[in-house]
Every structure is written in structure tokens, then in C-alpha cells.
Amino acid sequence: MRKILVTGAAGFIGFHLCRRLLGGGDEVVGLDSLTDYYDVNLKLARLKQITMNRNFKPVRLDLADRTGLKRLFEEEKFDVVVNLAAQAGVRYSLVNPHAYVDTNLVGFVNILEGCRHNSVRHLVFASSSSVYGANTKMPFSVHHNVDHPVSLYAATKKANELMAHTYASLFKLPCTGLRFFTVYGPWGRPDMALFLFTKAILENRPIDVFNYGRMQRDFTYIDDIIEGVIRIIDKVPAPNPEWSGDSPDSATSYAPYRLYNIGNNNPVELMHFIEALENHLGRKAEKNLLPLQAGDVPATYADVDDLVRDARFKPVTPIEAGIGKFVEWYREYYKQ
């Protein structure tokens, strides 16, 4: 039995990962600070699904609490750490930048220090497709340069990748970063498009459609994300013997460090996404067509060749099936 720390355990991805790990017989410590960035009741409802498992230990703690986190690592002696806790949201970073510094930067270095001093065998951490920023070459590859973020959120995720590499290099801490592409599905975040659209359509309110509906996103169903994470947990990175400083590869290293995209490898135009949702709800949406918002990018598209090669897995859930499962959950949870 492995002991695994999952941070952000009450969050969308964290909850699903905890449930999967517990189902596989792992011992899980689930850390979450239960911030009010969105409905805390939804977070508590997620936790309720897993706290009945005797192998799950919930811990309410802020990543920025250096003393508390240090004590947790010393007492629990984790085999693996999966860091999913973060201040999320591109648009929110425009109005509350300090929240991103406190959790995504200060909190992450506290995680790195905990792993370093307590012989953690593998740190897996959430990055984001947002790190591709101003890049336009498609599909986005982990081997591409990503030095032009267009939001503070994206900059903090890129910083996490750099900080992790430093610890892999200096202290031989095996680190793997996962760039998630627009995750959706049951128990999802209320600030994400699918949740917002569903709520508005069922309440007969118009939906805001940015970039006049011409945005494309590599929407990735939650079960595919979790399968990718599970496989990567068991794939502890080793140094790449072919890495060269003359032509540095950003996805690998002379240190035990790797980066992977987890995306559906199939961009969907926002209008098609909305149409699929309308079909499952049996209602048409009234649309407010708006320009692209600051910090957003017009398209994302994941190159998953490295994930397929190393983890022998490729996300496969079609958008119509994934949206159908979300709508089914939403109607049941909210009694609509």
C-alpha cells in the first residue's frame, strides 16, 4: 500500500483522483484549504463521497502554511505527492493576483521542500495548457518553447515547472509536470464554461460566448485526465541520457524530470460545444457574442505523442459523450 498526498483533494480533479486511488487500495491523505473561490458546499459534497473510506485522511491546510505543511510531511512520510492545489482561473488572475502568488508560488515551494526533506519518491504536479500563451504553432508540444504567457495564472504554472526542474537538478527529486487541457465532466468547477452554460440555459438566461464563438478548445473528459495521472504516478522519471545543453529539450532533462500534455488531441469549436450541450439539455441557448477576453487564447490543441509513448494512453472520450455525462450529473445533483 502506497501513502499518497493529494493536494486540492476537494477540488474537481483532486476529488476524482482520490476516489480512483482509494479504489485501487492506496492510502490517501487529502489536503485542501476549502477556499471560497467557488461554492464551498460543492467541495464538501465531493469530500463526503470519499471520507467514508477508511484509507482516506482529510487535512484542512493552506499550502502557504509553511510550518503546518512541514509538520504534515514529517509525520506522514509520503511515498508520492500529487499537487493539484492551486488558485485556478485565468480571468480571476486579472483582479486578484496575490492569490496566485500565495498558493501557486509560495505554496509550491513549500511542497518542493517537503518532498526534498522527506524522501518522496515522485512529485507529480498540475501544470496547464495556459503555459503555451502566445504560441500559435499547433498542436502544442511539450518540446516547444513556452516563454510568452498571457496571464499571471499561466506565468505561475510555468514558474512551477521551472521550480520543479531546479529541485530535480539540485536534489535529484523526481518531478513530473502535467499540462491539463480544459478539463470537464461530473462534479466540475462552477466557474468553467460547461457549468456556467448549463446553469444559464436551464434558468432561461443568455450565455456569454467569447471570441464570437470562434474559440477552439481541446476539451478533455475528467476520466481521461485521471487515467493519465494514474499512469504517470507509476512512471517515475529518469534523466534523459540524450539531453544536451547545446539544444535543450524543455520536456526532458539531465535531471529526473518530465513534462506531458494530457489533452483530447481533438480541438472543438465553442459553437459545436454549445450545440452538443443544447442537444443534451433539450433547449436552445440565447447567446451574447463577445470579443476575446484579456488573458484568453483563441485555440488550444494538445500533442500527446509523449504521453502515448511513455504511458501507453491517449484520451478518447468524445465531446458528445462527456457532455452527456455532465448533464446527467448536474440534473441529479441540482434536482433539475
Among the options 37, 132, 153, 167, which is catalytic?
153
- 264: helix, strand or coil: coil
- State how far the alpha carbon of 146 is from the alpha carbons of 129, 143, 152, 239, in Å: 10, 9, 14, 21
Q: How many residues does the chain have?
A: 336
Give dist(CA 219, CA 18) in Å, integer.
Answer: 22
Give dist(CA 272, CA 265) in Å, integer.
Answer: 16
Contact in structure between 328 and 249 (CB atoms under 8 Å): no
Is 153 catalytic? The answer is: yes
The secondary structure of residue 283, as a DSSP letter, is S
Contact in structure between 183 and 127 (CB atoms under 8 Å): no
Q: Which three cell numbers stand for residue 246?
A: 547545446
| Strand order through the sheet with 56-60 | 56-60, 27-32, 3-7, 80-83, 122-128, 175-180, 257-262
SS3 letters across 137-188: CCCECCCCCCCCCCCHHHHHHHHHHHHHHHHHHHHCCCEEEEEECCEECCCC
174-211 b/e (C-beta count within 10 Å ≥ 16 → b): bbbbbbbbbbbbbbbbeebbbbebbeebeeeeebebbb
User: What Rg, from alpha-carbon coordinates, does the chain have?
Assistant: 19
Active site residues: 153
